[in-house]
Structure 1
């Protein structure tokens, strides 16, 4: 009798415009539950900088992250695969969420989505021109990107990240193999 495989939990580390939502949606197509704090902030509070003040994001996000942590635990303990569509900018955040996934019995994979300023800004600028009805298209300025870039701590080798190469198959292969290669670029 074969042992059932552990549920899989994908956490991402990356700035706005790095491709997190694109990857998360691709994994969702493969059966993963996609949990996206930004979308829940939008559903409950509207657009950042338009419907509520720009300095209020973290305050409004905190209870949503707490709720998602509970939903993550419930989904993983039920044997479901989950991708958390969030940037996880600090080592402490990533450690906390990794521990939560492991506590629920999941195989946790941290995927790092790097990006240089010009590429990220080009993607964000294009997204800024889309409709306000998309929760992932909140207006984000180039100054916001610079400021957030200064706050972002890229995962170190001690966190065993999979450096994303732009192909969802690479993430799925790492999960099947149980490996977390340092880089696939």
Structure 2
């Protein structure tokens, strides 16, 4: 009997390293699902091709469609990484419940970073915004506003804190599949 598929749920602000980690997991056989990339494909650049105030309204159907894709992949036995920030406990609970409902195992991975690190990374991404779907044009004011709406997981939400070493996430996933505790 094979292990159930796994789903990595990322928790982090823009610039925290979610896509970098998700691409590593993709290289290890995970299907990477990215709402940012689908938003870019459907609507263009945030703040350039559509007004900033429309983001959440435009994102809702994208998230609904990608949730359907994610569940279908898990039902086929594929492991998935959701390359998305999941800023609130309610969002994380909603995704975890969907995943568990199809018999898959979610792993919440929190990618902490200081304001200085996030802003530094976002400035570099802003320079590459036309070439990278994940490089939406953000201002420092956006980052400050986002930080005020971000709730890191606490002890009530089992999670792995990402320390910049993808091999530790892979080890946690392997241990979960074997039934071992990390």
TM above 0.5: yes
Structure 2: tracts of 5 or more residues without a match: none
**Deviation digits for residues 112-171 of structure 1, max 9, x if unmatched?**
000110010000011111141211111100000000000000001111110001111111
Match of 2:49 among 48, 51, 61: 51
Structure 2 distance, partners of 1:127, 1:155, is 26
Q: Is 1:93 paired with 2:91?
A: yes
Contact 2:24 2:166 in 1 (8 A): yes
**Deviation digits for residues 23-65 of structure 1, max 9, x if unmatched?**
0011001110000001000000000000000111111100010
Contact 1:162 1:180 in 2 (8 A): no
Q: Structure 2 vs 1, CA of residues 158 and 180 (structure 1 numbering), >3 Å: closer, same or farther?
A: farther
Contact 1:13 1:111 in 2 (8 A): yes
Residue matched to 1:150: 148
TM-score (norm 1): 0.94
Residue matched to 1:175: 173
Q: Which runs of 4+ in 1 moved over 4 A?
A: none
Contact 1:161 1:180 in 2 (8 A): no
Kindly report the root-mean-square deviation, in angstroms, between the aligned alpha carbons of the 2 structures: 1.1
| 1:60-139 correspondence to structure 2 within 5 Å | 60-139=58-137
Q: Describe the SS at the equivalent of 1:100.
A: helix
TM-score (norm 2): 0.96
Structure 2 distance, partners of 1:139, 1:21, is 16
Q: Is 1:28 paired with 2:26?
A: yes
